Structure 1
Amino acid sequence: MSGKRLALLASVPAIIAMVALLAVSALAAVSVGDKAPNFTLDSINGSATSLSSVTDKPTLLVFWASWCPHCQRELPMLQDIYKDLHSKGMNAMGVSVDDNIGSAKSFIQSSSITFPNVYAGNDKGMGVVQDYSVRGVPTIFILGKGGVVKAKYEGEVDGSTIRQQFAKLGVK
């Protein structure tokens, strides 16, 4: 058997394993209509915070990073929406995937973000990122009361789209 043929045959099990892994992750992806998996992570300030602590109302859940230019534009816009709609029945939670918590804290402070943020840049947090099948940032989930996923956006999204989603949930 030639060396090329042997190398090709040797790579087949790895290719099959990779395809199986991708298929399993696609099946596990959180989709519209699913109940969002609960998690507990340390807040940016260090206290344990659960998603379930905010899902008593329609909730914006955003995965972000301070180094992401789209997130740098989007988080202040989301803060404005939160400021306008929180008293009308909206909650929000940010999930930072920064490599270090200091970068996340600095960005939140400099951008005057007031909605709760947790840190997912460690092993425990990366499990949450995987549970939600986050492939890039920003990724936004709009959750109805009780944590059911009503919408999901990957990449930058405009504020009017977010506001329309909350209006559909009775938050205007």
Structure 2
Amino acid sequence: MNKKKRRLLIRSIILILLTSAVVYTLYANFTKDERGQIKAGDPAPDFVLTDMDGNKHKLSDYKGQGVFLNFWGTWCKPCEEEMPYMNNQYKEFKDQGVQVLAVNVSESEFLVNRFVAKHSLEFPIVIDKNGEVLNAYGVDPLPTTFLINPEGKVEKVLTGTMTEEDVKNHMESIKP
């Protein structure tokens, strides 16, 4: 095969690959709302994640209690803003049947532990190392919180920062 034909073949393959990548990206963006997007009324997908103390947390083990499921990152300023409010309300509601599970999105234990210590957080914090739970819930953007009722169904999906009053009212709404 001469040089011109080889060059044409290589260029054609590259063009096909680039076109395929563009088509896939467009498809993924236009269908992302249909994939893994959990909404009010849906059963909350079950998962098992390990907290900073090595304890396993399985969502279905909380059946019969309300769960305030929060997805966050240490770099996310709105997440950092609402964490103290969540901590204060956790202290109030944990004995009333409302649990908080804060799912960190794939960060290192060092960063998460430093963040937890800085804010003196007391509720369970788990790390979604592979992003599987994040994808199962279709989380975008951060922070996103799922209010899960005692029957294990999603009551509400909240995005953005909450005030302390918001956190309190939402926890009250999923109390058994």
The percent identity for this pair of structures is 24
- Amino acid of the structure 1 residue aligned with 2:86: L
Equivalents in 2 of 1:17, 1:96: separation in Å? 28
Deviations 1:80-132 (A, max 9, x none): 01111111221110101152111111211221211111111x22xx0111111
Q: Bigger CA drift: 128-137 or 18-27? A: 18-27
Equivalents in 1 of 2:63, 2:72: separation in Å? 19
Aligned mate of 1:165, from 159, 166, 170 = 170
Q: Secondary structure at the match of 1:76?
A: helix
TM (norm. structure 2) is 0.80
Equivalents in 1 of 2:106, 2:132: separation in Å? 14
Matched-pair contact (CA < 8 Å) for 1:55–1:91: no
Q: Partner residue of 2:67?
A: 59
In the TM superposition, residue 20 of structure 1 has moved relative to its aligned partner by 2.8
Q: Bigger CA drift: 52-61 or 78-87? A: 52-61
Identify unmatched segments of 5+ residues in structure 1: 1-5
In the TM superposition, residue 24 of structure 1 has moved relative to its aligned partner by 3.8
Q: Does 1:129 align with 2:137?
A: no
1:20–1:48 distance in 2 versus 1, CA, 3 Å: same
Equivalents in 1 of 2:19, 2:159: separation in Å? 32
Q: Secondary structure at the match of 2:44?
A: coil
Q: Partner residue of 2:93?
A: 85
- Cα RMSD after superposing both structures: 2.2
- Amino acid of the structure 1 residue aligned with 2:173: K
Q: Partner residue of 1:36?
A: 44
Structure 2 counterparts to residues 10-159 of structure 1, below 5 A: 13-27=20-34, 28-120=36-128, 122-123=129-130, 126-159=131-164
Identify unmatched segments of 5+ residues in structure 2: 1-11
Larger Rg: 2
In the TM superposition, residue 75 of structure 1 has moved relative to its aligned partner by 0.8
Count matched residues. Answer: 161
Equivalents in 1 of 2:20, 2:106: separation in Å? 34
